């Protein structure tokens, strides 16, 4: 394989070896394209790879709308239906799948069987289709893949992963199954462990970190926010543009540099409720917050890292976030004021 051989004489003469080693995605399927991450990832991929090369996969009842619908192809792609996934992959000659189908942590606790069906039975279907059709696969893991006995401060890349939530169980299984398909069948599986993602476009639903999105809507509407997470509870968070960049950078990365695959710790900021509250008050000085702690959310939050060590992602594929708490807060408030007409 000339393109990936560092020893080839072709590269010896090349001025920009790094650029040539970048993995190219030609036709991409985003499964869960109407969800929190999927809706923005699909648009970002269309911007970078061309509208017609990125298929928005959705399930009945969650159809794409507006720009997402108008700007490129879309197809029903239910992860629980292996024939359906195979047929979409063949029809659009897909070489890369972003598999974002999952239930978030809180809702997965109330529907554990469904969380497994979508997260793991669904992943098995995707990996089988990928194996037969030579696709690369990105299936995100999460800070939820860690548990109470994981070191919480600067959580290492390789460490104890014994979560007690169904979300965590599916995320650890996702990592293991993705590595299994890579090691056994050579499927190009790659993933990151996402922190709580903060965005002003599609709201999350049923997660433990959702408070860090909701708080901005309350601040912009001029309403008091009641926080379900206790003061002092640290969790990793990330602004959506950095999360999208991580997912795309990793799938474009030179495979010869990847020591790890499923899944990389990535981090950009870690904060507790009172810290984000103060960051917002810098721009909205009259904003008020009180606490009414949700026991389930608090139990889940307590079991997650305070802050992850992302040095492997930085070393192996050049991960580097752009936003910190202040620059994210400023941008979120500006965008939401426009969105909510405030």
Binding site residues, ligand AKB, CB under 6 A: 104-105, 142-144, 167, 194, 196, 204, 207-209
Nearer to ligand AKB, 112 or 254 (CB): 112
Helix (H, G, I), strand (E, B) or coil at 30: strand
Nearer to ligand AKB, 54 or 192 (CB): 192
Nearer to ligand AKB, 88 or 101 (CB): 101
Contact 224, 313 (CB under 8 A): no
Nearer to ligand AKB, 86 or 272 (CB): 272
Residues 6+ apart with CB under 8 A from 39: 33, 64, 68, 201, 202
Question: In angstroms, what is the minimal distance from the CB of 52 to ligand AKB?
Answer: 31
Gap between the Cα atoms of 137 and 70, Å rounded: 25
DSSP H or E run through 239: strand 235-239
| Number of neighbours of residue 229 by Cβ within 10 angstroms | 22
DSSP-derived secondary structure letter, 52: G
Question: In angstroms, what is the minimal distance from the CB of 207 to ligand AKB?
Answer: 3
Question: In angstroms, what is the minimal distance from the CB of 198 to ligand AKB?
Answer: 10
Gap between the Cα atoms of 40 and 34, Å rounded: 8
CA quadruple 252, 314, 324, 151: dihedral positive or negative? Answer: positive
What's the token pair of residue 316? 């192996």
Which residues belong to the active site?
Answer: 167
Contact 33, 68 (CB under 8 A): yes
| Number of neighbours of residue 182 by Cβ within 10 angstroms | 19
Cis-peptide into 2, omega within 30 deg: no
Question: In angstroms, what is the minimal distance from the CB of 194 to ligand AKB?
Answer: 6
Gap between the Cα atoms of 21 and 57, Å rounded: 29
Question: In angstroms, what is the minimal distance from the CB of 209 to ligand AKB?
Answer: 4
Nearer to ligand AKB, 105 or 270 (CB): 105
Nearer to ligand AKB, 171 or 190 (CB): 171
Closest CA to 326 of 275, 287, 286, 288: 275
Question: In angstroms, what is the minimal distance from the CB of 328 to ligand AKB?
Answer: 15
Gap between the Cα atoms of 54 and 68, Å rounded: 11
Which single residue brings its beta carbon nearest to ligand AKB? 207
Contact 56, 64 (CB under 8 A): yes
Question: In angstroms, what is the minimal distance from the CB of 133 to ligand AKB?
Answer: 28
Helix (H, G, I), strand (E, B) or coil at 287: coil
Nearer to ligand AKB, 73 or 122 (CB): 122
Gap between the Cα atoms of 4 and 85, Å rounded: 29
Gap between the Cα atoms of 278 and 32, Å rounded: 34
């Amino acid at each position: 394989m000339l393109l990936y051989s560092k020893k080839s004489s072709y590269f010896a003469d090349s001025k920009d070896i790094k650029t040539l080693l970048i993995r190219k995605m030609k036709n991409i399927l985003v499964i869960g394209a109407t969800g929190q991450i999927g809706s923005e990832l699909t648009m970002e991929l269309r911007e970078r790879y061309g509208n017609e090369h990125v298929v928005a996969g959705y399930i009945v009842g969650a159809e794409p709308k507006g720009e997402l619908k108008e700007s490129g192809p879309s197809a029903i792609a239910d992860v629980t239906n292996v024939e359906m996934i195979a047929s979409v992959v063949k029809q659009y000659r897909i070489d890369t799948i972003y598999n974002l189908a999952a239930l978030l942590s809180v809702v997965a606790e109330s529907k554990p069987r469904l969380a497994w069906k979508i997260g793991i039975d669904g992943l098995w279907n995707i990996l089988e289709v990928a194996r037969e059709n030579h696709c690369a696969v990105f299936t995100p893991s999460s800070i939820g893949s860690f548990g109470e006995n994981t070191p919480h401060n600067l959580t290492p890349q390789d460490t104890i992963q014994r979560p007690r939530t169904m979300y965590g169980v599916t995320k650890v299984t996702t990592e293991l199954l993705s590595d299994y398909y890579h090691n056994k069948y050579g499927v190009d599986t790659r993933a990151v462990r996402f922190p709580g993602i903060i965005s002003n476009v599609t709201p999350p639903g049923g997660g433990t970190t959702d408070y860090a999105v909701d708080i901005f809507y309350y601040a912009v509407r001029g309403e008091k926010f009641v926080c379900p997470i206790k003061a002092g509870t640290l969790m990793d968070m990330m602004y959506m543009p950095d999360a999208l960049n991580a997912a795309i950078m990793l799938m474009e990365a030179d495979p010869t540099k990847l020591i790890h695959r499923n899944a990389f710790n990535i981090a950009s900021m870690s904060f507790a409720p009172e810290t984000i509250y103060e960051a917002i008050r810098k721009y909205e000085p009259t904003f008020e917050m009180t606490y009414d702690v949700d026991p389930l959310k608090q139990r889940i939050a307590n079991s997650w890292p305070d802050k992850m060590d992302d040095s492997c992602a930085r070393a192996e594929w050049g991960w580097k976030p752009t936003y910190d708490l202040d620059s994210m807060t400023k941008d979120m408030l500006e965008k939401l004021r426009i969105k909510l007409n405030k």
